[in-house]
Structure 1
């Protein structure tokens, strides 16, 4: 994103500590800004909460989905919960107007490494009785085959997975635990990026351990909806993110919503869902749907489009319209 006044200081949150993929996303987004300040958050919820409540924070870079592992459910559920919390209708209709909006996206190539606190080679791993591996929960599904090979390499070793708030925190914790441990039959490792290993002066003992090469995480860039920051014109294709719930008592209710996109016609590029946390009327198996669609066409009557969306949904929320990053197709 290009901010119109680059002389104005900005503060951007990312899921820390330094060296995470979230940090890389924030740097890609704001690294060229001469007065950008990057601030660490300890969790994804903290990123959005501080952006909402701290007047000194301007933006937040938040992981949204991974090309191998799918949804970052923490983020999806945060948007779901905010929509439910503000469901009094922002404009007299059944539209929810959130405090935050999405203004851009970033794509970060993910290359995982097996990291140790000190120099080590893979051949020495079978001698340990127990190996604890620290990483972010989203990582496990991206290295499942590698971990199975590691277990086969060490048949007499108990291999544990331990969740951490971020991959960089996984390295920090590994280094800390190893420095305090006197047990030589046990080993603590981390799965993280090359950058995270460098930040914590750790050592890479295996790299490129992703089950699928070309693994990429997509990040959304949020700001306060009331922000006065002005963006320069951008010629890139525009995408909108919209969430909605359906009218459960109406047959074909989901089809009716999707038919609005077909009839106008609007090109939908993704759809997914999450279970509602609060069950309407005590019913189970209720969902919130997330759709993204291209919105550059000047042949579409957008006022009519959103009126029909409103008529077809129980609740709906437009989280923002933002430029499609060129890395989407790479």
Structure 2
């Protein structure tokens, strides 16, 4: 029997041959790519790849090797596609993505909509992004804000997309798919909950507390210290503050921001009641125009996948091969199709970059219903 050293030497010799054959294969794939460019053929041919996998599987002797050669050739064909996508970029065959780069959002006279009411965190985010004197107004729901920019009664909407403790705002992901609106900016503000009541009220007077359900959860440690208080969920923290003012009942209080308390003439009975004092929410700025700032460096997309083994793995490889840093991935159920999911991904880049065009071309050919949600 050969020694371990001898076996390794034989493996090295085989590997040298594999590397030479790999380079020969990639050279041929490049020639295939040139042919496809000249003749307007698609890079991804699902039927051809399926037939190839069956062919190579039939040429091995064991079940273990069958699975191994299947995985190997999936990778080889994936590398071939990525080479051909790069050739398309170099040949200028990818063209421009349907978004226009702009130097600024020209928001000086813009109308900006936010969900909630005066004093809402979303209003604070709006003024943080567009300035204190921006022309803004509120609607009750996220959907109404998306409808306002779709129909043109507002130029931009500022909407929450993610909280550092509560996670993603699922409804917003669904609305981004439903509406033809696009993300053009983002801003993050700290979420600093207070307990606010009528002027002259004291904590000992409180019997009922109103706020958004998530806010009640985020202040649960403080609220649990007062287990006799009734906790009542409303649509928005600022709406809760407004209710306290309107009801004029000293036994009622709101969990809201100090800003909302000030807007509605309430007194802060206890500040910093968050369980997590580092709590913050990320808001997106949305418009109905396909535009992006020329210095934008973050892209959001969504897509669906075929129900096949390894499909997500192969899609994500497009980020690796194009040296793009993926920063976030979320999934949401596809309505009307049980156990199927839509994936939402954020990654670094600009729509004018060749690497981004290359990755998006590959993602579009190999996924279903890919949408660019924005570059910001």
Q: Distance in 2 between matches of 1:297 and 1:269?
A: 16
Q: Distance in 2 between matches of 1:49 and 1:297?
A: 26
Deviation, 1:4, is 6.3
- Alignment equivalent of 2:340, drawn from 277, 286, 296: 286
Structure 1 residue ranges without an equivalent (≥5): 83-97, 152-156, 323-330
- Alignment equivalent of 1:240, drawn from 289, 292, 299: 299
Q: Which residue of 2 aligns with 1:62?
A: 159
Q: Which residue of 1 aligns with 2:235?
A: 165
Which of these two proteins has the greater Rg computed from alpha carbons? 2
The 8 Å contact of residues 264 and 300 in structure 1, kept in 2 or not, is answered as no
- Alignment equivalent of 2:144, drawn from 46, 51, 67: 46
TM-score (norm 1): 0.76
The 8 Å contact of residues 351 and 357 in structure 2, kept in 1 or not, is answered as no
Q: Distance in 2 between matches of 1:15 and 1:243?
A: 24
Q: Is 2:192 the partner of 1:117?
A: no
Q: Which moved more, 1:44-53 or 1:111-120?
A: 111-120
The 8 Å contact of residues 350 and 356 in structure 2, kept in 1 or not, is answered as no
Q: Distance in 2 between matches of 1:117 and 1:178?
A: 7
Structure 2 residue ranges without an equivalent (≥5): 1-101
The 8 Å contact of residues 99 and 226 in structure 1, kept in 2 or not, is answered as no
| Alignment size in residue pairs | 275
Distance 1:118 1:287, change over 3 A: same
The structure with more helix, counted as a fraction of residues: 2
Q: Distance in 1 between matches of 2:353 and 2:105?
A: 29
Distance 1:286 1:294, change over 3 A: same
- Alignment equivalent of 1:73, drawn from 167, 170, 184: 170
Deviation, 1:254, is 1.4
Q: Distance in 1 between matches of 2:352 and 2:104?
A: 25
Distance 1:2 1:208, change over 3 A: farther
Distance 1:39 1:172, change over 3 A: same
Q: Distance in 2 between matches of 1:290 and 1:297?
A: 17
Q: Distance in 2 between matches of 1:163 and 1:150?
A: 17
Q: Distance in 2 between matches of 1:27 and 1:285?
A: 40
3-state SS of the aligned residue for 1:196? helix
Q: Which has the higher contact order (CA 8 A, sep 6+)?
A: 1
Q: Which residue of 2 aligns with 1:197?
A: 261
TM-score (norm 2): 0.68
Distance 1:170 1:10, change over 3 A: same
Q: Which residue of 2 aligns with 1:13?
A: 113
1:153-172 deviations in Å (ceiling 9; x for gaps): xxxx2x33222221111111
CA RMSD of aligned residues (A): 2.4
- Alignment equivalent of 2:211, drawn from 135, 143, 150: 135
